[in-house]
Amino acid sequence: MAITVSRPKLNWRERLYLPAIVAGLAITFKHFKNLLLGRTKVTMQYPEQKWDGNLPDYYRGAPALVRDEDGRVRCVACQLCEFICPPRAIKIIPGEIDSTDRFAKVEKYPEAFDIDMIRCIFCGMCEEVCPEQAIFLRKDYAITGFTRADMVHHKEKLLEIGGVMHGVVLKWNKKK
Amino acid sequence: MTPESFLIITSLLKIVGILFIVILPMVSYAVYAERKVSAAIQDRLGPNRVGPAGLLQPIADMFKLLLKEDFTPRAANTFYYWLAPCLAVMPAIITIAVVPFGSTLFGVPMVIADVNVGILFVFAIASLGVYGIVIGGWASNSKYPFLGGIRSSAQMLSYELSLGLAVIPVFLLVGNLRLTSVVRYQIEHGWFIAPFIGDWTNPWKWLLTIPMIVSFIVFTIAIFAETNRLPFDLPEAEQELAGGYNTEYSSMKFSLYFLGEYAAMITGSAVIVTLFFGGWHLPGIPDGSHGWIFGLINIAVFFAKVAIIIFFFMWVRWTLPRFRYDQLMRLGWLFFFEIALVNIFVVAAIVPFIQ
Ligand code: SF4
Ligand code: SF4
């Protein structure tokens, strides 16, 4: 059923438009004046002023690999994060640990671990799925580069961003 | 030096001076000012990265536009497509020729061409500006520019009338069409926006103020429509027509349209200042025949007034929403046309009593 929307009847003063226009001009001029007098609060000037100190702990920035207390790379190249990653940003080449090593045959290690930051959507799935607590989303958000290749974070870069993280999941060294 | 060569040399100096030292920088800085004013009105800061307070922004913009690809759509009519931006920018700049922007400097009148058809010249040339838009819209061979072009022609047609009628009262009083005489008259009898100044006791002068203000309002609104500024920027209508007539343009051709719009705004303001705000006259400051310093002050006064009117243009743009197309037509034909017409008779009735 069609509904007729009744329009308000305007009196002659409203129909003249001009009073309303002048009122509008007065409002915008107030804003103009306040900004010139420095009374308006404007937004933060980003590259000079940053909010970094106030980022919450659960902030989801760039994903990064972490080392444990002993300096070992936590990642065991299980590739769960590679499979879960919605935009398929992660590429892992697992490698076998040298047979002379204490941990040979127990673990794998990532020979290459690339995260394409053009693809990454900072969803945090990789962090959630990782059984070893090896990948975390840190607070870096300004990821830039001049080429596509620049935007791929390799293993070294990821470890550099990640640093050391103490977690509850322990690798094999304690059980052996 | 013969008088002829003196005239030619001074005219050339004036053209070069006014065009390259005043108008073109003013156009590019009007764009900057527009961005700053809009920012201030919307509680933002506006451009502030390039140079101190963003003052080099227009130059950076120009480089950006120069480096863009100059793209011509395959379906476009190339000749007209290339011609249209020039047509948009030229009339706006040519019009300034007849506007007196100062008194005299070293005895040389500060107007490029003091023709006796002054205001008619302004209307004749300024209305050519619509061809730039209509041809651009048509030659692009694309929907939105085409709609923009159509709207533009209809809008110009309806507002040109009120524009012409609104200034007739001024010329009823002055008695001729020369813009320098308009300024002279205002110096002797008070500015047209406030004709009672200097003649406080004359009730007819007070009565004259009402039709003059009506005339001023109609003229200013018509200039808004003429220069495609909001609330009458229907040919451009960013949100409806994706830029209207300039949708298909890029690079320098686009920037020519852009400059044309601002140049038109500057000449429009200059005409408003000349007709209603006493041109280069400021009470208490003598004209250039009393020394070159006053000549310079007169020029400064004129451009200061123009700047104020330009600010008003921007202020209105960032305040009012756009009119609907039918509202625009109704306003033009049913209100302004009649008001301007009646206004002429009112002024004509008053004129005998004040002379
Ligand atoms: S980061 Fe975690 S989920 Fe990804 S491969 Fe390494 S251990 Fe597996
Ligand atoms: S944060 Fe999300 S998108 Fe980015 S790498 Fe991890 S799973 Fe992939």
> 3-state DSSP call for residue B105?
strand
Kindly state the helix (H) or strand (E) to which residue A7 belongs, with its residue range: none
pLDDT digits (tens, 9 = 90+) for B289-324: 777 777 788 888 888 888 898 888 888 888 888 888
Q: Which residue has the tokens 């960013």?
A: B238
Q: How far is CA B21 from CA A83, A157, B231, B307, in A?
A: 65, 54, 31, 15
Q: Which of A51, A55, A56, A62 is nearest to A122 (CA)?
A: A62
* Alpha carbon of A107 to ligand 2 centroid (Å): 23
* Alpha carbon of A86 to ligand 2 centroid (Å): 7
* Alpha carbon of A136 to ligand 1 centroid (Å): 10
Scan residues 13-32 of A and list those with Cβ closer than 8 Å to B: 21, 24-25, 27-29, 31-32
Q: Which of B266, B254, B28, B263 is nearest to B145 (CA)?
A: B254
Q: Say how many domains are in chain B.
A: 1
- Is B31 a domain residue? no
- Is B63 a domain residue? no
For residue A74, the ligand 1 atom closest to its alpha carbon is 7
Structure tokens at B199: 């003649």
Residues of B whose CB is below 8 A from A36: 40
10 Å Cβ neighbour count for B203?
10
Q: Which of A161-165, B56-60, B314-318, B351-355 has the lowest average pLDDT? A: B351-355
Mean pLDDT of B172-187: 81
Residues of B whose CB is below 8 A from A48: none
- Is B169 a domain residue? yes
* Alpha carbon of A139 to ligand 1 centroid (Å): 19
> 3-state DSSP call for residue B173?
helix
Q: How far is CA B235 from CA A116, B103, B147, B148, in A?
A: 45, 37, 7, 4
Mean pLDDT of B80-104: 82
- Is B42 a domain residue? no
Confidence of residue B283 (pLDDT cuts 50, 70, 90): confident
Q: Which domain holds residue B325?
A: 69-354
Q: Which residue lies with its CA nearest to atom 4 of ligand 1?
A: A81
Q: Does the model's ipTM exceed the 0.85 cut? A: no
Which phi and psi (to 5°) does residue A95 adopt? -130, 155
Mean pLDDT of B222-236: 79
Residue B144's contacts (CB-CB under 8 Å, 6 or more residues apart) are B241, B242, B243, B244, B247
Which phi and psi (to 5°) does residue B203 adopt? -60, -30
Residues of B whose CB is below 8 A from A31: 40-43
Task: State residue A68's pLDDT score.
Answer: 79
pLDDT digits (tens, 9 = 90+) for A63-87: 888 887 777 788 888 889 999 999 9
Kindly state the helix (H) or strand (E) to which residue B198 belongs, with its residue range: none
Task: State residue A176's pLDDT score.
Answer: 44
Pocket test for ligand 1, best of A81, A84, A138, A155 (most atoms within 8 A of CB): A81
Which phi and psi (to 5°) does residue A113 adopt? -140, 100
Percentage of residues in chain A with pLDDT exceeding 90? 12
- Is B337 a domain residue? yes
10 Å Cβ neighbour count for A4?
5
Rounded Cα distance, B226 and B308, in Å: 19
Q: Look at residue A174 and tell me whether its pLDDT is greater than 60.
A: no
- Is B325 a domain residue? yes
- Is B57 a domain residue? no
Pocket test for ligand 2, best of A58, A66, A90 (most atoms within 8 A of CB): A90
Q: Does the beta carbon of A81 lie inside 6 Å of ligand 1? A: yes
**Cα angle A145, A148, A150; round to 5:** 45
DSSP string, B127-180: TTHHHHHHHHHHHTTSHHHHHHHHHHHHHHHHHHHHHHHHHHHHHHHH-S--HH
Q: Which of B11, B51, B130 is nearest to B3 (CA)?
A: B11
Confidence of residue A7 (pLDDT cuts 50, 70, 90): confident
Distance, C-alpha A28 to centroid of its chain: 37
- Is B300 a domain residue? yes
